[in-house]
Amino acid sequence: MRDNCQAGRRNSRVTIREVARLAGVSLGTASNVLNNPGIVAAPTRKRVLDAIAKTGFVRSTAAHQLRVGRSLTVGVVLLDLANPFFAEMVRGAEGVLREKGYVLMVCSSDESPEQERRYLRALEERRVDGLLITPVERDLSGLKALAARGVPTVLLDRDGEKAGLCSVTVDDVRGGELAAAHLLALGHDHVALVNGPTAIRQCADRRQGARRAFKRLGLRPDERLWELRVPALTVDQGERATALLLAKRPRPTAVMCANDLLALGVLKGLASAGVAVPEEMALVGYDDVAFASMLSPPLTSVRQPKHELGASAAALLLEEAEGTGHEHRAVRFEPELLVRSSSGAPERAGAQAGPAAGTAATGGESLLTNPRKPT
């Protein structure tokens, strides 16, 4: 019986009232040690801290939040936490927010609108002080409503200017153009684009940029750029797409991918099929994640300033959450092409593709299941 009672005691939560009793101080004094320690004399503060250590007391965040009206918590909802691009972006945000005492609650939507909505509800119920999000869909009405209910919201890697939300983006149209123009400059005029769902803004913009590069040279993208659309931006989907790439006639001599994970999958698939990169198939990725330069051959990729994206978004969020007179802003970074061995060109950085003036992106069928022949 004694053991059961002791086990029950160990599992119960120690209250601040018990800490105050053990330290021999009032409840108010014990509370001040937690919330305003500067006004408590050092000997008294030590007694309370010793009592906290002895009892294992942990303050209730919910109760503290009710008193001060803030949670010092920021929600982060990303498309895919398995993608190193998002991990590095979160590290950039974390560094800025940590200095201000904030803790991040990080969620992965896995590119699912339903999962995204579920996390948004959960984060709002937990009274986060702000939200950083890479939305799955183009419709931002739900995020606008969330911001209207008092949750400062900043879009990561997605333009929110028209929706009246702060945002931090990279010019992905420009990035797609850089990748395609690089392959065209190397003499490849039959290029495959392994792309994700164009409901994802980044995929649509990179496609638009690639088509623009062909048009600038007077080439018809519908004849020379074969888009192969896969359901997810993953290594597995890139590897699965390789069989279709190799079966295409005429076979593309170069492949550009919507991100580096797809490119890694394509590289694996080509290696399994005995196709040499870049001798038989040139390859370009997008994001320039940490492993890109470590592959064999090292991967040519469009670099996004991942850490800076996160840090800039966090700074905008703090400005809105803590400041007065805040005005929504859209911050945009420029991409950079890092040329490595996978595309068959001498390695160099900062390749350019000419001025950035765009055309509208168009729709298309899913080429993973129904490849379209050139017209």
CA distances to 52, 198, 317 from 335, in Å: 51, 20, 23
Q: Which of 19, 36, 59 is the last residue of a domain?
A: 59
Distance between CA atoms of 200 and 302, rounded to whole angstroms? 18
pLDDT in tens, 60-86: 655 555 454 567 899 999 998 888 999
Would residue 344 count as lying in a domain? yes
173-229: pLDDT as tens digits: 999 999 999 999 999 989 999 999 888 889 999 999 999 999 999 999 999 999 999
Compute φ and ψ for 293, nearest 5 degrees.
-80, -10
Dist. CA 71–CA 223, nearest whole Å: 55
Q: Note whether 343 and 221 are same-domain residues.
A: yes
Residues 81 and 49 in one domain: no
CB 92 within 8 A of CB 310: yes
Q: Each residue of 210-223: b (16+ CB within 10 Å) or e?
A: bbbbbebeebebee
Output the CA–CA distances (angstroms, integers) from residue 16 to 47, 58, 86, in the order listed: 13, 9, 39
Q: Are residues 97 and 128 in the same domain?
A: yes
| pLDDT (0 to 100) of residue 62 | 53
**How many residues make up the chain in this entry?**
375
Higher-pLDDT residue of 32 and 230 is: 230
pLDDT at 123 over 90: yes
- Mean pLDDT along residues 332-358: 72
- Cβ atoms of 152 and 317 closer than 8 Å: yes
* Calpha distance 194→237 (Å, rounded): 9
Residue 368 has pLDDT above 50, yes or no: no
Claim to verify: residue 125 and residue 167 sit in the same structural domain: yes
Supply the pLDDT for residue 63. 54
Are residue 345 and residue 216 in the same domain, yes or no? yes
Does residue 183 lie in a domain region? Answer: yes
Contact 320, 128 (CB under 8 A): no
Q: 287 is written with which tokens? A: 């994001």
How confident is the model over 45-60, as a mean pLDDT? 86
Burial class (CB in 10 A: 0-12, 13-18, 19+), 315: middle
The answer to whether residue 370 sits within a structural domain is no
* Average pLDDT score over residue span 21-40: 88
> What's the CA gap between 261 and 292, in Å, rounded?
9
Asked whether 263 and 283 are in contact (CB, 8 A), the reply is yes
Task: Give residue 275's domain range.
Answer: 172-304+335-351
In a domain? residue 361: no
Query: 164 and 125 share a domain?
Result: yes
Domain boundary among 29, 59, 89: 59
CATH number for the domain that contains residue 162: 3.40.50.2300
Residues 342 and 312 in one domain: no
Within this chain, do residues 154 and 201 fall inside the same structural domain, yes or no?
A: no
272-325 per-position pLDDT tens digit = 999 999 999 999 999 999 999 999 999 999 999 999 999 999 999 999 888 767
What does the alpha-carbon distance between residue 244 and residue 237 come to, in Å, rounded to a whole number? 11
**Which residue, 12, 27, 59, sits at the end of a domain?**
59
Residues 147 and 244 in one domain: no
DSSP one-letter string for 161-182? TTTT-EEEEE-HHHHHHHHHHH
E strand residue ranges, the chain: 73-78, 103-108, 130-133, 153-156, 166-170, 191-195, 225-229, 254-257, 282-287, 300-303, 330-333, 336-339, 348-351
Secondary structure in 3-state letters for 218-263: CCCHHHHEEEEECCCCCHHHHHHHHHHHHHCCCCCCEEEECCHHHH
pLDDT of 35 reads 76
pLDDT (tens digit per residue) in 151-165: 999 999 888 888 889
Work out how many domains the chain is built from and give that number.
3
Asked if the structure places residue 64 within a domain, the reply is: no
Average pLDDT, the chain: 86
pLDDT at 353 over 90: no
CATH assignment of the domain containing 52: 1.10.260.40
Is the backbone of residue 115 left (phi > 0), alpha (psi -120 to 50) or beta?
A: alpha
Residue 360 located in a structural domain: no
Q: Is the same domain home to 73 and 143?
A: yes
Q: Are residues 214 and 152 in the same domain?
A: no
Residue 203 placed within a domain: yes
Q: Looking at the domain assignment, is residue 368 inside a domain?
A: no
* 177 and 290 share one domain: yes
